[in-house]
């Protein structure tokens, strides 16, 4: 059973790593963008992204993926333990099985969250670009 839990968490972590986002800001074609051109705008976007990273506003927060795994495992363990207690079976076995299932489910959920750009990073980049004359209309 411990192997199942380990494999579930390992699989979720691999999935989370593979889902890293490449989202970039989408700029409204205002007069500033038309004046400087797309090449300069892409350079400015990259510069703002680097500034954000250097200021500690990382694009991806690993805890965004890890927290749902822990939450899922905890809920699964509680449900599995209570379920087995009600049926007169071993609480520990039910808790371990529930933790494996809950951790795997939480890992899948966390993998999707890991692919999102962190709100702090997004806000930093948007403000940086705004100060340079760009209008960010979304992320893609």
Query: For residue range 10-30, what is the model confidence (pLDDT) as tens digits?
Result: 555 544 444 445 799 999 999
pLDDT in tens, 117-130: 899 999 999 999 99
- Does 50 reside within a domain? yes
- Does 18 reside within a domain? no
- Pairing relationship of beta strands 25-27 and 136-139 according to DSSP bridges: antiparallel
- Does 14 reside within a domain? no
CA dihedral sign of residues 88, 8, 114, 66: positive
Range of the structural domain that residue 37 is part of:
23-139
pTM for this structure? 0.54
Residues of 89-112 as b/e, b for ≥16 C-beta within 10 angstroms? eeeeebbbbbbbbbbbbbbbbbbe
Q: How many domains does the chain have?
A: 1
Token pair recorded at residue 66: 């890890």
7, pLDDT greater than 80: no
- Does 51 reside within a domain? yes
| Average pLDDT value over all residues in the chain | 75
Residue 42's pLDDT is what?
97
Lowest mean pLDDT among 36-50, 56-70, 126-140: 56-70
- Does 54 reside within a domain? yes
Lowest mean pLDDT among 36-40, 67-71, 105-109, 134-138: 105-109
Residue 15's pLDDT is what?
47
């Amino acid at each position: 059973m411990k192997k199942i839990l380990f494999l579930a968490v390992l699989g979720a972590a691999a999935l989370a790593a593979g889902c890293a986002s490449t989202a970039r800001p989408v700029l409204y074609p205002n007069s500033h963008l038309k004046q400087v051109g797309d090449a300069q705008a892409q350079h400015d976007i990259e510069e703002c992204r680097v500034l954000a990273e250097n200021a500690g506003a990382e694009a991806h927060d690993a805890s965004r993926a890890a927290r749902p795994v822990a939450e899922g495992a905890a809920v699964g363990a509680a449900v599995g333990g209570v379920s087995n207690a009600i049926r007169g079976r071993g609480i520990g076995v039910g808790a371990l099985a529930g933790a494996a299932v809950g951790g795997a489910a939480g890992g899948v959920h966390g993998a999707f969250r890991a692919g999102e750009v962190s709100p702090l990073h997004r806000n930093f980049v948007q403000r940086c670009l705004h100060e340079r004359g760009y209008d960010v209309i979304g992320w893609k």
